[in-house]
Structure 1
Amino acid sequence: MTGTSNRSVERAFRIVDELAANGSGRVSELAERLDMPVSTVHNYLQALVSTGYVAVEDKEYATTTRFLEVGHRQRHRLEVFKAVSDELQDIAAETGEHVTLLVEENDQCVIVAVQEGPDAVNLFAYPGARMPLHAAAPGKAILAHMPDDHVREIIDRQGLVEMTKRTITDPDVLFDQLERIREQGYAVDEGERIAGMVCISAPVLDKGDRIRGAICVCGPQSRIDEARREEIAEIVQRAANVTQVNLDYV
């Protein structure tokens, strides 16, 4: 692909990302926010409308559910999503909390599936939502089962962004914690990504010990004391083990 084609694709997705972030927008508004000529933005929008990924009504442009279709299809291609079966629903019922399945994609932790128990806090978490690997329990569970050299490459590319005052931003501290996660079989973050929340996550490995994802339970610190943390850790580890077994038959 030529340099011009690369720039064209990048511009198109900048416009898509801007629409997704703001819900909708007019040509002039988008051009101003993106610092692009109005005529250029208009041409890209017309092309996107013709593909069905963007719609326009009363000169207001917005992304369509076509992206949902693409993401839904890709999610169902993931073996770990098929292998998790009813585990997330069972965990949500047992703990009452917010439960997710996540995978690593392009150096980030991505939510693949969500289940909410009766007491779950609304975290505005949805399939496709992304977060830094180092700042979340499932991300750390995944990093702990990657080669150290690969983890260092991710840190070099992404950095260790501070999400809250409790986020790990020192590589040495992170590597010490990853070693502890491997030893105990699960990861914890205490307000490292969302202040006031405790998240506990277990890695999902396949029979070749390759990391395939992580199962996570999140709840407010006021509800998850030390004893309950151990109880939830056992639950997510059990679910991860069942999912691992199921992977052999997907």
Structure 2
Amino acid sequence: MIENTERRTLKTTQTSLRILTLILEHDGLTLAELDGMVDSPKSSILSHLDTLRDSRYLVKTDGVYRVSFRVALLGDRVRARYPNRDRVSSVLEDLAETTGEEANFTIFEHGRLLMFHGTSGNAATTEDETDYRSEYYLHNTAAGKAILSELDPTRVERILDKWGLPRESEATITDRERLFDELAETGERGYGIVDEEFAPGLVAVGAAVYRDDGTILGGLSVGGPKYRIDRTRINHELGEQLLEAVSSLESTLQS
């Protein structure tokens, strides 16, 4: 959920979290490297690093700062609040096997989609294969469009105000009016479609996945290269297969 932007936020906390994120994304950074990435004095960056080390979120070896194992343990506790990975994996593998395409399940938080698990063809992807991209926008992903189409327009506007409409390919929709037209069609159809809007040559369909309390948990999508997926296949095959998988996943999550 997007928070009220009028609330007071602390820049120092934002900087610490930015540093932690950069170190995680680069699998370790030195103070000199961070000095070229963070818009703060070098002495201030060092203070943030020392604070994160004292709090046991970072370790330092030979001048390189890395995220600590404690963060992984905290992550495991967070993951326990979300669906059982094996249950999600089973549904995704069935969808991938049925369609012969890649299937992904993402978690919806703070107006973004976070990769939870994915499959490619008949085999599940490994952590390393999905780590190249772990966060996604809503406006140019199939599951993201599906989720936006089911939200109140005011909330959609807040999400767009926060994250914008970044262009990630030539086909990405960057105009709000055109996006809202697309969302209306998505709502009527029941699933979102992206045709090279996320990446050149990639076509996908996606739908929202609900918790048993009626709130949106995330999105399920399936897609592949454009030469294998056209609108006819989407309308007469993939769309129906996707919605069947969503129904199966929602039933699994409630059991």
Give the TM-score, by structure 1 length: 0.84
Query: 2:14 is paired with a residue of what secondary structure?
Result: helix
What root-mean-square deviation, in Å, do the aligned CA atoms of Structure 1 and Structure 2 show?
2.9
1:17 pairs with 2:26: no
- 1:66-215 equivalence runs, <5 A: 66-79=70-83, 84=88, 86-118=90-122, 125-126=130-131, 129-206=134-211, 209-215=214-220
Of residues 241, 244, 248 in structure 2, which corresponds to 1:242?
A: 248
Q: Which amino acid aligns with 1:200?
A: V
Stretches of structure 1 that go unaligned for 5 or more consecutive residues are none
Q: Return the offset for 1:208.
A: 5.9
Q: Is the 8 A contact 2:93 2:122 kept in 1?
A: no
- Corresponding pairs, count: 245
Aligned partners of 2:16, 2:28: CA distance in 1, in Å? 15
Cα deviations by residue, 1:130-156 (Å, 9 ceiling, x for unpaired): 111111101001111111221122222
Cα separation, partners in 2 of 1:65 and 1:194, compared to 1, 3 Å: farther
Change beyond 3 A, Cα 1:68–1:192: farther
Q: Report SS of the residue matched to 2:224.
A: strand
Correspondence for 2:58: 54
CA distance in 1, matches of 2:129, 2:83: 25
The Cα offsets for residues 21-66 of structure 1, whole Å up to 9 and x where unpaired, read as: 3332222232243243333322322332333322221111122344
> Does the CA-based 8 Å contact 1:205-1:212 persist in structure 2?
yes
User: Can you list the C-alpha shifts for 1:174-199, whole angstroms capped at 9, x where unaligned?
Assistant: 12221222222111101111111011
Q: Aligned-pair distance for 1:124? A: 5.0
* Letter in structure 2 aligned against 1:218: G
SS in structure 2 at match of 1:182: helix
Equivalent-residue separation in structure 1 for 2:241 and 2:68 (angstroms): 38
Aligned AA (1:137): A
Separation in structure 1 between the aligned mates of residue 102 and residue 68 of structure 2, nearest angstrom: 28
Which range moves more in the overlay, 45-54 or 7-16? 45-54
The alignment status of 1:232 with 2:238, answered yes or no, reads: yes
- Bigger shift: residues 52-61 or 123-132: 123-132
- Asked if 1 retains the 8 angstrom alpha-carbon contact of 2:103 and 2:118, the reply is yes
Identity %: 29
* Residues 70 and 191 of structure 1: CA distance in aligned 2, closer, same or farther (over 3 Å): farther
User: 2: CA distance between counterparts of 1:10 and 1:207?
Assistant: 34
CA distance in structure 2 between the aligned counterparts of 1:187 and 1:80, rounded to whole angstroms = 25
Where structure 2 has 5 or more consecutive residues not aligned to the other structure, the ranges are 1-8
- 1:202 Cα deviation (Å)? 1.9
- Residue 79 of structure 1: how far off its partner (Å): 4.8
Q: For residues 25 and 201 of structure 2, what CA distance do their matches in structure 1 show?
A: 25
Amino acid at match of 1:12: S
Going from structure 1 to structure 2, the CA distance change for 1:223 and 1:188 (only over 3 Å counts) comes to: same
Contact 2:140-2:194 at 8 Å conserved across structures: yes
